[in-house]
């Protein structure tokens, strides 16, 4: 934009032309501001999407999940309960990951169709594994424990454990109680 001056010939601009040019500059700035606000609103809307909604959108797909404790889990996402993502391991067993323990989710490929069990919560899925006398491996931040679920309490699970080199819990066949909040991943063996 040229400066408005009433000098004698050099840099002279008609006042109406000057006002028109000034108005077009203001209009351009206003359009840029509105476009920026639109982008900000789109970003703010995307920021309201929770991980739960992203996981729900990924049901039926293969996911690779990394927990806060460092456990890496590959699964075909089948169900999202109140506090747990439940899926099928590549070998066919049940895999559960506490949603509070999830650090990273990487979509892999679209999964194959299949019938999924429906559980409301991690405790319901654990009770199903107990009824089936399934052998499970529980990943904790400090290591893992393998055994058979004996009882599912309100805030703990009791296992008949096998000897594990990663978590010192005593001899084989001993029963141990593990706090549900400490469990990051449950794998059916």
pLDDT in tens, 1-26: 555 555 545 566 677 887 778 788 88
pLDDT in tens, 23-73: 888 888 888 777 777 766 666 665 656 888 889 888 999 999 999 989 999
Give dist(CA 53, CA 110) in Å, integer: 17
The CATH code that applies to domain 54-188 is: 2.30.30.600
- Long-range contacts of residues 16-21, Cβ cutoff 8 Å, at least 24 apart: none
| Cα–Cα distances in angstroms (integers) from residue 32 to residues 20, 24, 29, 39, 60, in the given order | 18, 12, 5, 11, 41
Identify which of 41-50, 90-99, 165-174 has the greatest average pLDDT. Answer: 90-99
What predicted TM-score, i.e. pTM, was given to this entire model?
Answer: 0.62
Domain boundaries defined on the chain: 12-48, 54-188
């Amino acid at each position: 934009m040229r400066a408005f001056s009433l000098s004698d010939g050099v840099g002279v601009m008609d006042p109406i032309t000057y006002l028109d040019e000034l108005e077009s500059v203001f209009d351009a700035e206003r359009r840029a501001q509105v476009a920026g606000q639109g982008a900000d609103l789109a970003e703010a809307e995307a920021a309201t999407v929770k991980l739960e909604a992203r996981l729900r959108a990924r049901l039926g797909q293969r996911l690779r999940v990394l927990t806060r404790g460092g456990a890496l889990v590959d699964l075909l996402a089948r169900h999202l309960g109140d506090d747990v993502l439940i899926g099928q391991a590549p070998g066919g067993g049940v895999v559960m990951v506490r949603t509070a323990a999830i650090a990273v989710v990487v979509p892999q490929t679209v999964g194959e169709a299949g019938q999924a069990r429906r559980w409301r919560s991690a405790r319901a899925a654990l009770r199903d594994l107990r009824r089936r006398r399934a052998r499970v491996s529980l990943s904790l931040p400090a290591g893992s424990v393998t055994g058979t679920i004996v009882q599912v309490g309100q805030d703990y699970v009791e296992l008949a454990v096998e000897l594990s080199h990663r978590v010192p819990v005593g001899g084989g066949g001993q029963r141990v109680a593990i706090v549900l909040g400490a469990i990051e991943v449950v794998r059916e063996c």
